[in-house]
């Protein structure tokens, strides 16, 4: 791990040598795009889900998830955040049998943030290398990113490894992963926050659908 920054630097050097240093400037737009996509996903999809299906206000939901979200943001690990997710789910009125099943499962296969991240990064890498993507290829990226995110481990840095599979699915240079590796930790914080928030939202919706959600303040 001590030498990983040097390894990332060595991978980026040939890309910069071919494309020029200006290739690094758009990385800021990647960070902004990923954070915006993650924010909108939580604000729209999760808010509507808990409000419509569980009759819990968005403000109440995010307030009771805030501790877990903050821990996920700082650790970038869904697995490490699991105890905090359990506590947040309990505060939202989800009974133990449901949260003890849904949350560990979600920490393994429910990776919405990772899918968003991989899709945006794939489009960025295609743009850097000047590879035009057809509509069919873009749909392939969406499908592959979704499937790859399901198999992504809930540990820091796992998403960037699976990104290579997404790139290969549409014939993009796998070397492009090196561009993302340098900023992956920043992106990992956002996508992990989305992932665990989605897990908690799922547990609330499941408990509500089973008529087992304990009454809480709306």
Phi and psi angles of residue 154, each rounded to the nearest 5 degrees, phi first: -85, 50
Over residues 100-154, the pLDDT tens digits come to: 999 998 888 888 888 898 889 999 989 888 888 889 988 998 888 888 777 666 5
Asked if residues 73 and 193 have their Cβ atoms less than 8 Å apart, the reply is yes
Most confident of 23-27, 142-146, 212-216: 142-146
Angstrom distance (rounded) from CA 200 to CA 42: 12
> Of 196, 210, 59, 178, nearest to 114 (Cα)?
196
Angstrom distance (rounded) from CA 197 to CA 72: 9
CATH architecture of residue range(s) 26-209: Orthogonal Bundle (1.10)
109-to-71, 148, 150, 195, 213 alpha-carbon distances in Å: 19, 10, 4, 9, 23
Domain residue ranges in the chain? 26-209
Angstrom distance (rounded) from CA 20 to CA 177: 17
pTM (predicted TM-score): 0.83
Over residues 84-103, the pLDDT tens digits come to: 999 999 999 999 999 999 99
Which tokens in the block code for residue 73?
A: 């943001």
């Amino acid at each position: 791990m001590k030498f990983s920054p040097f390894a990332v630097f060595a991978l980026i050097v040939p890309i910069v040598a071919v494309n020029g240093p200006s290739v690094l400037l758009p990385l800021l737009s990647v960070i902004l795009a990923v954070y915006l996509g993650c924010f909108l996903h939580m604000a729209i999809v999760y808010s509507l889900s808990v409000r419509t299906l569980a009759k819990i206000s968005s403000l109440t939901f995010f307030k009771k998830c805030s501790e877990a979200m903050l821990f996920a943001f700082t650790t970038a690990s869904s697995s490490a955040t699991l105890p905090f997710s359990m506590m947040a789910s309990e505060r939202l009125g989800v009974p133990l049998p449901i949260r003890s099943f849904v949350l560990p499962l979600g920490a393994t296969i429910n990776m919405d943030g990772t899918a968003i991240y991989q899709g945006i990064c794939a489009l960025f890498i295609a743009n850097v290398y000047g590879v035009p993507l057809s509509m069919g290829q873009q749909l392939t990226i969406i499908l592959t990113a979704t499937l790859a995110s399901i198999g992504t481990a809930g540990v820091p840095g796992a998403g960037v490894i699976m990104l290579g599979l997404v790139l290969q699915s549409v014939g993009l240079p796998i070397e492009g992963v090196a561009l993302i590796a340098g900023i992956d930790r920043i992106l990992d914080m956002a996508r992990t926050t989305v992932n665990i928030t989605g897990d908690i939202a799922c547990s609330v919706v499941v408990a509500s659908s089973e008529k087992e959600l304990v009454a809480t303040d709306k």
